[in-house]
Structure 1
Amino acid sequence: MNQKVLSGTRNVAIVGPYSSGKTTLLESLLFVTGAITRKGNIKEGTTVSDSVSEARDRGMSVEVSAASTQYENIHLTFLDCPGSIEFAQETYNALVGAGTAIIVCEPVIDRVLTLAPLFKFLDDWEIPHFVFINKMDRSHERFMDILHALKEVSSRPLVPHQYPIRQGDDLVGYIDLVSEQAYHYHSGSPADPVPLPDSLEAEEKAAREEMLETLAEFDDHLLEELLEEIEPPQEEILKDLKQEVSADLIVPVFFGIAEQDYGVRPLIDALIKEAPEPNATAERRGLQTREEGDTLVQILKTYYTLQGGKLSLARVWQGELTDGMVFNGVRAGGLYRLMGQQQEPRDRASVGEIVAIGRMENVQTGDTLSSGNPDDAIALPKADSLEPVYALAIVPENRKDEVKLSSALGKLIEEDPSLHWEQHGDTREVILWGQGEIHLKVALDRMRRKYNLPMSTHLPRIPYKETIRKATTSHGRYKHQSGGHGAFGDVYLDIKPLSRGEGFQFHQTIVGGVVPKQYIPGVEMGVREYLVHGPLGFPVVDVDVTLSNGSYHSVDSSEQAFKQAARIAMTEGMPKCKPILLEPVLLINVSAPSEFTSKVLQLVSGRRGQILGYEPLADWKGWDRVTANLPQAEMQNFIVELRSLTLGVGFFHWEYDCLQQVPDKLKENVLAMTQES
């Protein structure tokens, strides 16, 4: 269909937990609207959205994928978002630019909790959304029971839009609660209208009454009609649905079987009739939608393709986007409408559209770009970056590749801002941080495939430290003669412990010039060099060293000689100071549904954690936050076990807190492992 005859745009993010059927739903949406002639299969790796190798290999979405179609003169862009919690950053970044979201879930009451973070994000950002209960052929739960469970994790009222018709365990159709018309599904074609089953009349009336009563909370006229037992006209109900959905006041609930296209057509109709138009979303963000004037876009996702280089998926918030337009000094190098990996060149894009822009160098995901004066441009809000919770130390399999590593990691993080990397100051390891084991494996697969950088990995070393508990005085003399001038330095060092957190202090109390001033910096240098690798093999902290005495030779002494003398004194004296091993301890805040709080407490305690307390989590209904101190050595797989205990929804924040002594039993194991490595 020619773009000029299109009368509107809808941007729809498809979100939901892993395995709920989001990608299958997208295939059905594209098929039903004629964008594709044959549906792909996840197992065969032929779906539109899971077209990258990392997704096909795992049979799951690992990044946001865009696909477009047209229906009833409306242009629809769908953003298929990953379901795994490890790729939640991708979902949140995409939702910022979406006008509407469809939450896809399975009809399993015990798994409804997995939707809580999604509902919370959508409600916080006031993003209108629908619920599509998928795989209803596998349901053994009553529809109204599922609906009740869903209401427990949403701060917005859920409104049933349909009621199921079953024959035994099979879902055969639905009743539209607006028109009260019953329909039977047919594979490959729209559902047929049928008489309303007498056996479901009471259930249908109750569900419809619930829908109308919820709508009446926002419409006084409808409330009056219900009180006077006047049947409201369908037009009024549809008008209320559109108003309340657009304002993010209610959440309509649909259901079906996406694999068979059941329930997909009513969902599309609702997107056309009830989902907000782009200007409504923009106005909610404080923007004025207009075709003329400066163009304003926001980057939702960054891709680095093997053939085409960098692509930036962008939402047009204001004005018209044209190929070659300059944003913040960067020229757009091509416009494309995406269908998974396929790119359709475009000359322009209107307000509300989501398109890919080529070659936008130095532009990051979340950035707001303006075609006008950069000083006058506004910065649209963007999703918060998720804190890293899982790490691997990485080493190029080919040492010659080390020079390419930082550039490749930079591009990797541009594509996925929830990744972080650092070169640790103590262990000197390059550490890649992310949201879980699968997340990092996908990142490493990209390193190998896109940048030809295969990596070896291992668990990061814990940055242990050591300190002392006893003071001593140590003597160090360095004397070396090899013809000509020799080398001579002689020092006495007072070594004593400091309180935890005071670091390293160096003093001198030299009297009478027994160590000339020009040699004293060499003494401090020698002490510092020794403290990098103490008697237990780790950096030494919280130590005071005082140069109290010494002697020198008028010809043979030098700063270097006194540096060596200081190292000798430290090597002799430190083992006598009762060195102890210290480990970093983190302050963590673990958040999880209240029903899992006892398991979280056990998890923390079982990992040598010290519980500091727990309380209700602010703004999260039915959630608790547990505060504790936890040794960093116990953190490596903490997120894996936490998610296992909490249906995948538990999360935590952490920060460094202090150093504390390693228990004697563990100390021997740490020292033994250090000697082996």
Structure 2
Amino acid sequence: MNNKVEVGSRNVAIVGPYLSGKTTLLESLLSVTGAINRKGRVQDRNTVGDSAAEARDRQMSVEINAASTEYGGVRFTFVDCPGSVEFAQETYNALIGVDAAIVVCEAVSDRVLTLAPLFKFLDDWEIPHLVFINKMDRATSHYMDVLQALKSVSSRPLVPHQYPIAQGEEIVGFIDLVSEQAYHYHPGAPADPVPLPEALRSEEQAARAEMLEVLADFDDHLLEELLEEINPSEEEILQDLKMDLGADLIVPVFVGVAEQDYGVRPLLEALLREAPDAETTAEHRGTVLSAKTPLAQVLKTYYTPQGGKLSLVRVWQGTISDGMTLNGVRVGGLYRLMGQQTHSLTTAQAGEIIAISRLEGVRTGDTLTTADSQPTAELPKAEHMAPVFALAITPEKRNDEVKLSGALTKLLEEDPSLAWEQHGDTHEVILWGQGDIHLQVALDRLRRKYNLPMSTHLPQVPYKETIRKPTSSHGRYKHQTGGHGQFGDVHLDIKPLPRGEGFNFKETIVGGVVPRQYIPGVETGVREFLVHGPLGFPVVDVAVTLTNGSYHNVDSSEQAFKQAARIAMQEGMTQCEPTLLEPILAIAISIPTDFTSKVLKLVSGRRGQILGYAAKEGWHGWDEVAAHLPQAEMYDLIVELRSLTMGVGYFHWEAHHLQEVPEKLAEKVLASNIGNNNGSSNGNNRH
């Protein structure tokens, strides 16, 4: 058994910002290679990509879609990735399993900044990639201006592979800078060779010289030729492009209009000629086991209405067969995907991206191998994005509550950038994600796939309360019935503790005035009271000392002393100046330097405390702002941050400390809390 497949194999991700035309490009690639007879349109909701109902409802990609075709003796599997930043986790998970990526963008230089995080990921993972400037028929910027803008967000040098030919506002063709041959586009047909327009000769020469100079940085022989003014051969240039692209040293740039198939065939030819094949990528990534042992990685998990669980898998080495056992789970079936359509396979060889059914217990990112030969190390996986947006959810039908946790577990298997929790203080089920659209898609899936329609509201802020001054209090519980009575009597000292100390209970009883067996009842009574303090919230940072008391030989019990302690706490806590506390988050916001001043104002306007900012390590032209921010101000922070930063700003956060709520705000919170469960819950105190 060897690693090679019968036909060459190449896996290519199609990535780029929202509305750049990625799904349309996939449709064009499948059409010109004969994989589909008729091109679909995103507006008509009949494309191979965006096949999920949630995608078609919104006319945007919300998960990755794989589709295979053959061209030039090579099997291409294209993976169409979402462009919205809210679904970036899907894109990153897919990219680790491909041989190359096409970065699709529009000819609008002002929007190029939105590519910065994507370029950073591609470069960090050393994934070969090229750029396809799409929608050239609607260009608002000159080609060279777009190229210059692209250079500003890429750590790899960009190499113009083509130069566009325009007539007025309309793009009519391109010049291949390798061969210096000009071509005119034709809808639905290959471009025709035409004489190079004399009016563009100087621009073409300048663009070609730029291409050769970049390539010469990695090829001494080419550099010598250029210094001696020797025109290099096409073969030499193409060989340099292939080697440099495969090593992720350069980023070739192409142009076109995917909707009209303009530029799609030259793009395919470049992928065929210059992009690394599957075997080269596997060698570059390294292997864990011998080449004969099956080794694969899960790039995406789907739960389909008909076929159940499907795992989209990159086979890195060996052969996977139907019925084989991987990671202790029997393979339920092998499939090649064409959007939501599946084509059965008996085997899948190294270099292929295929789907495997019924891999129960296997998650996105997992490394797969045979049951008797576990990998010595897991294959690297994309880091999970931290959640930044939340909604509290409740089933519309009360009887559905028992099904919710199981459905959420499956939902998180499909989309690892989601998270959920049952909050310990507010008792809400909170669904976390990357933004409002992200969570709405998740809620649609709960409704469609699991018949679980949800009601949503803003999560409650988990306020706490504490005290400002100490006091001593007395509590006596005396209850007489027909038989034995109940009697407990305690004296408590209550005092505040430093912030973050929590709760402390001790006793200083002497002379047995409260027998030892009743003291645990006193502590239980105190703790139970602190669950809902006088302001209606959990009490923290309080010390309680049992100092004195009395008991009855017959009527006293642990239960009676628990009730006496609650009475003493009820009397004493109101005298201790209770005050409201709110959770404060430590937050690190990453943004391009041009937006730093705006973000500082954003944080300050949300009662945030700026701790400082500095250049972001490893990110050219980016800053990281450190701040403390009240959790009550976090709810739509990501929405406003993205609005200020063209969608590229992001943040990480963690709970840091509690601090007193400003007096006027505290009054509003407490006023909204009155009457909610007798003051025992946070009620309407939402983010």
| TM bracket, shorter-chain basis | over 0.9
The alignment partner of 2:118 has SS state of: helix
Letter in 1 for 2:500: G
1:377: Cα distance to partner?
A: 3.9
Deviations 1:347-399 (A, max 9, x none): 11111100000100000000001126344543100000000000111111111
Aligned to 2:12: 12
1:84: Cα distance to partner?
A: 0.4
- The CA distance in 1 between the partners of 2:289 and 2:528, in whole Å, is 63
- The CA distance in 2 between the partners of 1:481 and 1:609, in whole Å, is 56
Asked if 1:537 is matched to 2:536, the reply is yes
- The CA distance in 1 between the partners of 2:284 and 2:152, in whole Å, is 26
- The CA distance in 1 between the partners of 2:5 and 2:215, in whole Å, is 34
Deviations 1:260-288 (A, max 9, x none): 00000000000000000112211221128
Correspondence 1:271-670 to 2 at 5 A: 271-287=271-287, 293-371=292-370, 373-670=372-669
Q: Which runs of 5+ in 2 are unaligned?
A: 676-682
The alignment partner of 2:25 has SS state of: helix
Letter in 2 for 1:454: P
Aligned to 1:120: 120
- The CA distance in 2 between the partners of 1:168 and 1:589, in whole Å, is 47
Aligned to 2:238: 238
Q: Mean alpha-carbon deviation: is it higher for 371-380 or for 590-599?
A: 371-380
Letter in 1 for 2:50: D
1:145: Cα distance to partner?
A: 1.0
Asked if 1:52 is matched to 2:49, the reply is no
Deviations 1:627-674 (A, max 9, x none): 000000000000000000000000001011100000001001101111
Decide whether the 8 Å contact of 2:39 with 2:47 is kept in 1: yes
- Distance 1:83-1:339 versus aligned 2 partners, 3 A rule: same
Letter in 1 for 2:355: A
Aligned to 2:92: 92
- The CA distance in 2 between the partners of 1:312 and 1:581, in whole Å, is 49
The alignment partner of 2:200 has SS state of: helix
Letter in 2 for 1:400: N
- The CA distance in 2 between the partners of 1:284 and 1:147, in whole Å, is 29
1:51: Cα distance to partner?
A: 1.1
Correspondence 1:107-146 to 2 at 5 A: 107-146=107-146
Decide whether the 8 Å contact of 2:288 with 2:377 is kept in 1: no
Decide whether the 8 Å contact of 2:505 with 2:523 is kept in 1: yes
- The CA distance in 1 between the partners of 2:55 and 2:149, in whole Å, is 31
The alignment partner of 1:298 has SS state of: strand
The alignment partner of 2:543 has SS state of: strand
The alignment partner of 1:596 has SS state of: helix
Letter in 2 for 1:81: C
1:7: Cα distance to partner?
A: 3.0
Asked if 1:252 is matched to 2:252, the reply is yes
The alignment partner of 2:664 has SS state of: helix
The alignment partner of 2:462 has SS state of: coil
Deviations 1:156-179 (A, max 9, x none): 000000001000010000000000
- The CA distance in 2 between the partners of 1:250 and 1:119, in whole Å, is 12
- Distance 1:230-1:183 versus aligned 2 partners, 3 A rule: same
Decide whether the 8 Å contact of 1:242 with 1:273 is kept in 2: yes
Aligned to 2:679: none
Once superposed, what is the RMSD of the aligned Cα atoms?
1.1
Decide whether the 8 Å contact of 1:6 with 1:75 is kept in 2: no
TM-score (norm 1): 0.98
Aligned to 2:27: 27
- Distance 1:542-1:289 versus aligned 2 partners, 3 A rule: closer
Letter in 2 for 1:271: L
Letter in 1 for 2:31: F
The alignment partner of 2:610 has SS state of: strand
- The CA distance in 2 between the partners of 1:284 and 1:99, in whole Å, is 10
The alignment partner of 1:460 has SS state of: coil
- The CA distance in 2 between the partners of 1:217 and 1:669, in whole Å, is 65
- Distance 1:45-1:339 versus aligned 2 partners, 3 A rule: same
Deviations 1:100-146 (A, max 9, x none): 00000011111110000000000000000010000011113111111
Aligned to 1:176: 176
Letter in 2 for 1:142: H
- The CA distance in 2 between the partners of 1:638 and 1:141, in whole Å, is 32
- The CA distance in 2 between the partners of 1:557 and 1:372, in whole Å, is 64
Letter in 1 for 2:616: L
Decide whether the 8 Å contact of 1:515 with 1:551 is kept in 2: yes
Decide whether the 8 Å contact of 2:5 with 2:351 is kept in 1: no
Letter in 2 for 1:351: A
Letter in 2 for 1:242: K
Decide whether the 8 Å contact of 2:13 with 2:100 is kept in 1: yes
Decide whether the 8 Å contact of 1:334 with 1:358 is kept in 2: yes
Correspondence 1:212-223 to 2 at 5 A: 212-223=212-223
Deviations 1:199-234 (A, max 9, x none): 000000000000011001111111111111111110
- The CA distance in 2 between the partners of 1:5 and 1:524, in whole Å, is 71
**Count, aligned residues:** 673
1:5: Cα distance to partner?
A: 9.5
Asked if 1:204 is matched to 2:185, the reply is no
Decide whether the 8 Å contact of 1:6 with 1:74 is kept in 2: no
Decide whether the 8 Å contact of 2:491 with 2:568 is kept in 1: yes
Letter in 2 for 1:326: T
- The CA distance in 2 between the partners of 1:48 and 1:675, in whole Å, is 54
Aligned to 2:678: none
Decide whether the 8 Å contact of 2:289 with 2:295 is kept in 1: no
Deviations 1:15-65 (A, max 9, x none): 001000000000000001100111111112101011111001000000010
TM-score (norm 2): 0.97
Letter in 1 for 2:99: G
- The CA distance in 1 between the partners of 2:281 and 2:607, in whole Å, is 48
1:6: Cα distance to partner?
A: 5.2
Letter in 2 for 1:409: L
